[in-house]
Chains A and B, each alone.
Chain A
Amino acid sequence: MTVYLPIAELSVNIFIILGMGAAVGFLSGMFGVGGGFLITPLLIFYNIPPVVAVATGANQVVASSISGAISHFRRGTLDLKLGSVLLVGGIAGATLGVWIFSWLRRVGQLDLMISLLYVAFLGTIGSLMLAESIRAMRRAAKNQPLPLKRPGQHNWVHRLPLKMRFKKSKIYLSAIPVVALGFGIGILTSVMGVGGGFIMVPAMIYLLRIPTNVVVGTSLFQIIFVTAYTTMVQAATNYSVDIVLATILMVAGVIGAQYGVRVGQKLRGEQLRALLGLLVLAVGLRLAIDLVLTPADLYSLSIEGFGP
């Protein structure tokens, strides 16, 4: 059964899109990630124009983050104040990101830049995650205890001015790195169509030393608003959000996520992280191969106005 996507201007098989949404939803539920970094490349592999894939991916992330954020809010593991400070940077970053996106599209380098960014980020994050989880598995095998974290340990981040007190997170931290982190993630959201949780969560834990229990909820909170804002801005400037595609992905995604969560609870943390690391690396590798292999056709077409 085919369905016509009015914005992407092509007909697609609805079952493939549903399957994609469900599979990514399943993985995002299993690993507790938004799934934008998987959905956007998958859509591009399925010949959806990257312009539409990125904007629609951002829209899909809104849906997949919201149920997670609600449950964290209920459990009280969401720092609204910290989330809001992140959001200030996020909105500014997303605005700049959409501007960069439009500019890259005009000069014909958008597809390349999207692929390069994905390869760089997925490659780095995937390798780090895999290395870390293998170390953890080895430690578990040798029955070694985790290295203790000294609570008093500070780095340069904690010497910056403009300090604020975040009660829920129980930290006293400068607003500058928080806004800067939000800003960087905001740019990635609008250029790559991702929520950015896979970068934000490790950065919050290792760089800002924010307690792990509030990190996921708070990053989800920020992601909802930045992706919602990006969806709006993409819709207004590039007209590239495909509501039909987004709806199919979202519905399949939230259902898939429920089953993913159940499977995720049965697996151990380091195994889960190793699997996610492998998955991230695989997607990055696939994109890298496309960049390096001689393309089937050296020429490509683009129609002025809107089109693939």
Chain B
Amino acid sequence: MMTMLRALGLLVCLCAGVTPATAQLLSGDVPTVREGLEIGTSTSEIAITSDFRGADLTIFGALTNADELFLAIGQYDVVVTLEGPRNETTVRRKDRVFGIWMNTQSVTFEQVPESYSVASTRPIDDIQATSSLNRMGIGIDHLALAPIGYVGNALAVADFREAYRRLKLSNGLYQRDSAGVRFVSPSLFRATVKLPANVPDGVHVVHAYLFKSGELILQKDLPLRVVKTGLEQAITDAAHEKPIAYGLFCVLIAVLTGWGASIVFRKD
């Protein structure tokens, strides 16, 4: 409910913001009118609480100076992505060795987003050609996956890339919704991207891309912080920053639990 209210408020703000900007542009000496794109999110921070089961992030956007004709025939497309923190990721492949399945080959990809959720007005492969999407790195199938170090067999790397995407999609860290962006009025759109329960914490980035007749004309970015809250954060911090004290505390809890039980359940 709160999110809805906040989102509505934001929508109002955005609407209000459109008019002066338009006026300014019109009175300015820009010969051809250029489209503008403004985005806002329902929240700038997502908290991972102890009962966190994933969340939806709503992104509102306003298209300014849109060409009426192009709008009418649906020539504007919006793609919104939420990119998680980037990290090196290793994909390992199992093979049968002496009857046992063990990891034999591996490929490490440099700096790929740990999570990636994409929403668009229609399937992104209908919006642009694959080669252009690959160049821009928009969409799950088009993210750059560059292996680190020497990899002999290019064909094998393709298998590893395919496996990477499949695994990420199956564990929910990568998601796509080709109807996730909706125009609520000719110039206002709303996008919903999903954050899975296992979303990594850190700074995520919302990217909004505006396509006109299939050409990328504008891009807007917004940061989104995903933080563990209260106790969860305190535990993670303690485990990484004061590992010795943390370890001691774990042992202490164990000692107290074991000792406590022997007192509580003492028979004599």
Residues of A at the B interface (CB closer than 8 Å) are 1-4, 6-7, 9-11, 59-60, 62-67, 70-71, 108-109, 111-112, 116, 228, 231-237, 239, 241, 243-244, 246-247, 250-251, 254-255, 257-258, 291-295, 297-305, 307
Contact = CB atoms under 8 A, between A and B. Distances in A.
A62 to B, nearest CB: 4
Contact of B246 (A235, A247, A258, A303): A235
A88 B205 CA distance: 52
B197 A235 contact: no
A243 B163 contact: no
A62 B255 contact: yes
Given A66-B262, A67-B258, A303-B114, A6 B99 contact: no
A274 B111 CA distance: 53
A235 B90 contact: no
Contacts of A243: 235, 239, 246, 249-250, 253
B49 A4 contact: yes
Given A4-B52, A301-B90, A301-B168, A66 B254 contact: yes
A62 B254 contact: yes
Given A3-B51, A59-B251, A304 B259 contact: no
A134 B246 CA distance: 46
B253 A246 contact: yes
Contacts of A232: 244, 247-248, 251
Nearest to B258: A66
B100 A292 contact: yes
11 contacts: A1-B51, A10-B198, A62-B251, A66-B254, A116-B100, A235-B250, A250-B258, A254-B260, A292-B100, A295-B101, A305-B87
B89 A62 contact: no
B53 interface: yes
Nearest to A258: B265
B240 A65 contact: no
Contact of A300 (B91, B197, B261): B91
A228 B233 CA distance: 24
Contacts of A257: 261
